[in-house]
């Protein structure tokens, strides 16, 4: 991989990752999509049938397999929180960018979402607590942080593109 995006649900990893990959002419890989393809069912269905631990094992296997691929990787919101995944991300020499969001932004972006099982289980305020529990790990795993609350997805792409590591990795802007 050339760049990895991490951040909480609704931070924009999938949206921004797709746009960034398009801009750079690189493939985009979304870890949640890799998991769905491998399992042959939706994330919601994996949680319902097999439980969260089974989902986390699939997620770990997908991360390990994907790191060797070329392109941009958008992780799942919980990916860096699992210790083994945190170690994999820290050990890789791929720049990790944290897309950050304030609680109000998460609530605004996910209020009509029905596909994220944790959002359904915890409710919007439970989600905000979960983000608080995860924030330190998101920060520790990442090389660079962007506060996305007041940026459009394209502005987030521009902010990433302006970073030195991107020029180094891609040799262009
Ligand atoms: N910068 C932004 N400004 C406004 N809306 C955004 C922005 N980024 C993402 N969104 C919107 O927020 C919602 C969630 O975005 P997205 O699916 O990209 O998040 P994610 O980080 O991939 O979440 P998950 O971890 O659950 O996969 C989408 O409806 C998307 O259009
Ligand atoms: O934050 C999380 O733990 C999750 C985020 C999504 O991307 C999915 O990976 C799944 O819904 C779990
Ligand atoms: Mg996503």
pLDDT tens across 58-75, in order?
Answer: 999 999 999 999 999 999
CA of 110 to the centre of ligand 3 (A): 12
The share of the chain scoring above pLDDT 90, in percent, equals 80
CATH number of the domain residue 156 falls in: 3.40.50.300
Task: Return left, alpha or beta for 98; rule: phi > 0 is left, psi -120 to 50 is alpha, else beta.
Answer: beta
Ligand number with the minimum distance to the CA of 17: 1
CA of 27 to the centre of ligand 1 (A): 19
Task: Please give the pLDDT value at position 173.
Answer: 39
Residue 169 has pLDDT above 70, yes or no: no
ipTM for the predicted complex comes to: 0.97
Q: How many domains does the chain have?
A: 1
Binding positions for ATP are: 10-15, 116
Q: Give the range of the structural domain holding residue 125, as residue numbers without chain letter.
A: 3-170
- Is 78 near ligand 2, meaning CB less than 6 Å away? yes
Ligand number with the minimum distance to the CA of 134: 2
């Amino acid at each position: 991989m050339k760049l990895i995006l991490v951040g909480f649900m609704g931070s924009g990893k999938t949206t921004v990752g797709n746009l960034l990959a398009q801009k750079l002419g690189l493939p985009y890989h979304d870890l949640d999509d890799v998991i769905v393809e491998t399992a042959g069912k939706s994330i919601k269905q994996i949680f319902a049938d097999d439980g969260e631990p089974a989902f986390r094992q699939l997620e770990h296997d997908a991360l390990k397999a994907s790191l060797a691929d070329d392109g941009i990787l958008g992780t799942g919101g919980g990916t860096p929180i699992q210790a083994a995944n945190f170690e994999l991300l820290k050990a890789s020499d791929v720049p990790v960018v944290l897309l950050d969001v304030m609680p109000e932004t998460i609530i605004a972006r996910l209020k009509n979402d029905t596909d994220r099982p944790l959002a359904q289980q915890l409710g919007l305020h439970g989600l905000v607590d979960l983000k608080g529990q995860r924030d330190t790990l998101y920060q520790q795993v990442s090389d660079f942080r962007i506060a996305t609350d007041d940026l459009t997805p394209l502005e987030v792409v521009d902010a990433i593109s302006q970073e030195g590591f991107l020029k180094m990795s891609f040799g262009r802007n």
